[in-house]
Amino acid sequence: MNLKIAVLPGDGIGPEVTLQAKKALYAIGVVYDHEFVFEDALMGAVAIDKTGNPLPEQTLNLCLNTDAVLFGAIGDPKYDNNPDAKVRPEQGLLKLRKELGLFANIRPIKPYKSLLDSSPLKREIIEGADFTIFRELTGGVYFGEKKLNDAGTIASDLCEYSEEEITRITHLAFKAAQNRRKKVTMVDKANVLETSRLWRKVVKNVSESYPDVALDFLFVDNAAMQIILNPKQFDVILTENLFGDILSDEASVITGSIGLLASASLGNKKALFEPIHGSYPQAKGKNIANPIASVLSAAMLLEHFGLHKEAKKVYEAVEKAIEYNVVTIDLKADSKFGTNEVGDFISNVILSKDDLYFK
């Protein structure tokens, strides 16, 4: 298969981790005879520094004209600590999601066996947990009108959802549940928010087309508690943009490190793959960031294009790295391996077709 992949390394640790994902994809290309052509482009704070725009036209055009986008991370403390900044790195990512129509963000959560003791949560709570968060990605409070009065004393962000926006992601969540344990949990705040009440109505309607899938509802405050109290109850969590953002960082605690969680952002035409973590500026350039989330994003890319055995190979290589403790310091405090070494190990495992490494 020939795939043209736009790579947007972004800020902070983004370039270091996406490099490892590229290496893994390159190795897959060699072993399975695919041609992956990468083209890098600017987005985020680095793009603002060079062009004044967090999503330069050239980057957007590239993404519109490639098969898929591999994205690293975005954000820089110089903007976080400056509420008056008019142009912010995150605007680049939000605009890209909107322009590419990436309305569904899929975030799988499943602890690795050998890492069950890396989570601060008790083993008996997390062992066997396996769920996927379907986060709506192009609506809600992220994209509603923002206002600040002239005196700078009153601000508002509008949260808006249409039936259509809710319907399309709901279908994806139910279809995914049909191939899993057949349960969808809708998370909202329907006791307070009008948008949540619309979500409930629409989701309930859509669910009637999937009689084999059970549907239940949880308020988001309760869901935040249930995710760490009893994560095994979940199969597919369906939720709006902001709640999905918050709950997925929380859910990462189950796996032992947010540096392990990947995601796919899908629309009707385009697809982007990204770790759920941020730009971790403190680690930038230190070769300590965990590249696994980025490598797993690449595996999700392969799956998206139907390259299932290739994706499986990447998953197995990652499992091997974890099993053999070839991991970064977020997973093993005294580890001598850095971002590059973990990435090299993974691509070498992919390349050594017959497991030469371990004989």
Residues with catalytic roles: 142, 189, 221, 245, 249
Q: Which does 16 bind (CB under 5 to 8 A by kind): ligand IPM, Mn ion, none?
A: none
Task: Find out whether 169 and 136 touch, Cβ atoms under 8 Å.
Answer: yes
Question: How many Å from the N-terminal Cα to the C-terminal Cα in the chain?
Answer: 31
Looking at the DSSP bridge assignments, the partners of residue 38 are: 5
Candidates 21, 92, 28; CA nearest to 58 is 92
Cβ proximity to ligand IPM: between 72 and 278 the closer is: 278
Cβ proximity to Mn ion: between 16 and 245 the closer is: 245
200 annotated as belonging to a binding site for a ligand: no
316: helix, strand or coil: helix
Q: Which does 29 bind (CB under 5 to 8 A by kind): ligand IPM, Mn ion, none?
A: none
334 annotated as belonging to a binding site for a ligand: no
| CA distances in angstroms from 202 to 105, 162, 177, listed in the order given | 19, 10, 17
Positions 240 through 269 that interact with Mn ion (CB under 5 A) = 245
Positions 97 through 126 that interact with Mn ion (CB under 5 A) = none
Q: Which does 90 bind (CB under 5 to 8 A by kind): Mn ion, ligand IPM, none?
A: ligand IPM
Cβ proximity to ligand IPM: between 102 and 295 the closer is: 102
Residues that bind ligand IPM in the complex, under the rule CB under 6 A: 74-75, 90, 93, 245, 276, 278
245 annotated as belonging to a binding site for a ligand: yes
Q: Which does 165 bind (CB under 5 to 8 A by kind): ligand IPM, Mn ion, none?
A: none
Backbone angles phi, psi at 113, to 5 degrees: -55, -45
Backbone angles phi, psi at 153, to 5 degrees: -115, -15
157 annotated as belonging to a binding site for a ligand: no
Cβ proximity to ligand IPM: between 90 and 240 the closer is: 90
Could you tell me the smallest distance in angstroms from the CB atom of residue 355 to ligand IPM? 35
Quote the strand ranges of the chain, DSSP E. Answer: 2-10, 35-40, 68-73, 104-109, 131-136, 146-148, 155-157, 183-188, 214-219, 236-239, 262-266, 271-275
**Residue 136 binds Mn ion, judged by CB under 5 A:** no
Task: Find out whether 310 and 298 touch, Cβ atoms under 8 Å.
Answer: no
- Nearest residue to ligand IPM, scored by beta-carbon proximity: 90
Binding site for Mn ion (CB under 5 A): 245
Residue positions in the annotated binding site for substrate? 97, 107, 135, 221
